[in-house]
Structure 1
Amino acid sequence: MFSRHSNLIMIFVNLQSSFCKYPLPADPDLPLPPRIFQNLPKGDPEECIVRVYVIRAYDLQPCDPNGLADPYLEIELGKQLLSTKDDYIPNTLHPTFGSLFELKALLPIYKDLIIRVKDYDLLTLDDTVGETTIDLENRYLTRFRATCGLPKTYCVSGVNTWRDSQKPTDILIEYCKTNRHQPPVFVSKTEVTIGNKYYKLSDFESNVPESKLWGQENERLALHILNLTPFVKEHVESRALFNALQPGLEQGRVQMWVDIFPKSLGPPGPPFDITAREPVKFVLSCVIWNTYDVILDDVSFTGQKMSDIYVQGWMEGIDDKLKTDVHYRSLNGEGNFNWRFVYPFDYLMAEQKMVVKKKEHLWSLDKTEFKKPPKLILQIWDNDKFFSDDFLGQLELDLNSMPLPVKRSRSCNLNMLPEVGHHVKLSSLFEMKHAKGFWPCHNDSSGVPKLTGKLEMELQLMPAVDFDKRPSGVGRDEPNVAPKLDAPKRPDTSFLWFMSPWKSLKFVIWLNYKAVIIRGLFFILLVLLILIFVYSFPGNFSFWLMNRL
Structure 2
Amino acid sequence: EEDPQQPLLGPDGAEESDADSRAGQDDEVTPLWAVGRAVLDGELETRFSAASLPFDKFEFYQGQQRVATMKGLVRVIRRQEEARYDLPLSVSQLLQPRRFYVTLYVLRALALMPADVSTSDPYLIVSLGDEKLGSRDEHISNVTDADFYRRFELQTWLPGSSELHIDVFDYDSIGGDDHIGRTTIDVEERAFNREWLALDPKPVESRVLRNSFSKAPQGTLQCWVDVHPHDAPKTKPPLWDITPPPQQHWELRVVVWRTADVVACDEMTSMNDMYALLRCDACDGGKATQETDTHWRCSDGAASFNWRCKWPLELGPKRMLDERLTVQLWDRDLATDDAIGEAVLPLSAFFAQAFRAGSKAHAAAPPQVSGGAKVAAAAPAAATQSAVRAMPMHFTGDDSLGPSSLNLGIRDALRTLWSEASAAESTATAGELHKFWVPVFGGSGQSSQKGEERGWVQLSIEIVPGALASAMPVGFGRSEPNEFPHLPEPVGRFKFSLSPFKTMLGLLGPKVCMRLGCCLCAVFGAFVFGYIFLQMIPVILANLVV
Q: Under a length normalisation based on structure 1, what TM-score does the superposition of the two structures give?
A: 0.58
Counterpart for residue 392 of structure 1:
340
Secondary structure in 1 matching 2:231: helix
Counterpart for residue 253 of structure 2:
285
Counterpart for residue 162 of structure 2:
111
Counterpart for residue 73 of structure 2:
18
- Tell me whether 1:444 sits opposite 2:495 in the alignment: no
For 1:235-314, list aligned pairs within 5 A: 235-246=203-214, 248-266=215-233, 268-298=236-266, 304-314=269-279
> How much does 1:446 deviate?
8.0
Distance change in 2, residues 1:105/1:145 (3 Å):
farther
Secondary structure in 2 matching 1:264: coil
> How much does 1:114 deviate?
0.7
For 1:354-393, list aligned pairs within 5 A: 371-384=320-333, 386-393=334-341
The superposition leaves residues 172-207 of structure 1 with CA deviations (integer Å, 9 ceiling, x where unpaired) of: xxxxxxxxxxxxxxxxxxxxxxxxxxxxxxxxxxxx
Match of 1:475 among 477, 484, 504: 477
User: Equivalents in 1 of 2:489, 2:110: separation in Å?
Assistant: 52
Match of 1:98 among 99, 124, 149: 149
Distance change in 2, residues 1:508/1:151 (3 Å):
closer
- Tell me whether 1:41 sits opposite 2:9 in the alignment: no
Match of 1:150 among 192, 199, 208: 199
Counterpart for residue 125 of structure 2:
74
User: Equivalents in 1 of 2:158, 2:440: separation in Å?
Assistant: 68
The superposition leaves residues 436-464 of structure 1 with CA deviations (integer Å, 9 ceiling, x where unpaired) of: 13222221338963332221222223333
Question: Is the CA contact 1:393–1:443 (under 8 Å) kept in the aligned structure 2?
Answer: yes
Letter in 2 for 1:321: T
User: Equivalents in 1 of 2:76, 2:347: separation in Å?
Assistant: 68
Letter in 1 for 2:274: I
Distance change in 2, residues 1:434/1:262 (3 Å):
farther
Counterpart for residue 312 of structure 2:
344
Letter in 2 for 1:295: V
> How much does 1:135 deviate?
2.6
Letter in 2 for 1:381: W
User: Equivalents in 1 of 2:404, 2:157: separation in Å?
Assistant: 66
Question: Is the CA contact 2:127–2:165 (under 8 Å) kept in the aligned structure 1?
Answer: yes
> How much does 1:19 deviate?
5.3
Letter in 2 for 1:271: L
Counterpart for residue 123 of structure 1:
174
* Greater Rg over alpha carbons, structure: 1
User: Equivalents in 1 of 2:72, 2:337: separation in Å?
Assistant: 79
User: Equivalents in 1 of 2:76, 2:269: separation in Å?
Assistant: 103
The superposition leaves residues 384-404 of structure 1 with CA deviations (integer Å, 9 ceiling, x where unpaired) of: 2x3121111212212357997
> How much does 1:304 deviate?
3.4
The count of aligned residue pairs is 376
User: Equivalents in 2 of 1:126, 1:510: separation in Å?
Assistant: 70
Secondary structure in 2 matching 1:62: coil
Question: Is the CA contact 1:149–1:235 (under 8 Å) kept in the aligned structure 2?
Answer: no
Deviates more, 1:270-279 or 1:486-495: 486-495
| TM-align CA RMSD | 4.3
For 1:155-194, list aligned pairs within 5 A: none
> How much does 1:503 deviate?
10
Counterpart for residue 333 of structure 1:
301
For 1:395-474, list aligned pairs within 5 A: 395-400=343-348, 417=405, 435-445=434-444, 449-474=451-476
Question: Is the CA contact 1:336–1:489 (under 8 Å) kept in the aligned structure 2?
Answer: yes
> How much does 1:100 deviate?
0.8
Letter in 2 for 1:270: P
> How much does 1:382 deviate?
0.9
Counterpart for residue 139 of structure 1:
190
User: How much identity, in percent, do the aligned residues show?
Assistant: 28
Secondary structure in 1 matching 2:168: strand
Distance change in 2, residues 1:36/1:20 (3 Å):
farther
* Structure 1 unmatched runs, 5+: 1-11, 26-31, 153-233, 354-370, 407-414, 428-432, 496-500, 524-549
Secondary structure in 2 matching 1:307: strand
The superposition leaves residues 366-388 of structure 1 with CA deviations (integer Å, 9 ceiling, x where unpaired) of: xxxxx22531111111112x312
Question: Is the CA contact 1:405–1:439 (under 8 Å) kept in the aligned structure 2?
Answer: no
> How much does 1:145 deviate?
6.8
> How much does 1:420 deviate?
5.9
Question: Is the CA contact 2:406–2:438 (under 8 Å) kept in the aligned structure 1?
Answer: no
Secondary structure in 2 matching 1:435: coil
- Tell me whether 1:61 sits opposite 2:113 in the alignment: yes
Question: Is the CA contact 2:279–2:290 (under 8 Å) kept in the aligned structure 1?
Answer: yes
For 1:475-514, list aligned pairs within 5 A: 475-493=477-495
User: Equivalents in 2 of 1:57, 1:78: separation in Å?
Assistant: 24
Distance change in 2, residues 1:423/1:59 (3 Å):
farther
Question: Is the CA contact 1:22–1:33 (under 8 Å) kept in the aligned structure 2?
Answer: no
Distance change in 2, residues 1:400/1:507 (3 Å):
closer
* Structure 2 unmatched runs, 5+: 1-66, 351-390, 395-402, 417-431, 528-546
> How much does 1:336 deviate?
1.9
> How much does 1:422 deviate?
8.7
Distance change in 2, residues 1:423/1:151 (3 Å):
farther
Q: Under a length normalisation based on structure 2, what TM-score does the superposition of the two structures give?
A: 0.58
Distance change in 2, residues 1:398/1:423 (3 Å):
farther
User: Equivalents in 1 of 2:302, 2:70: separation in Å?
Assistant: 85
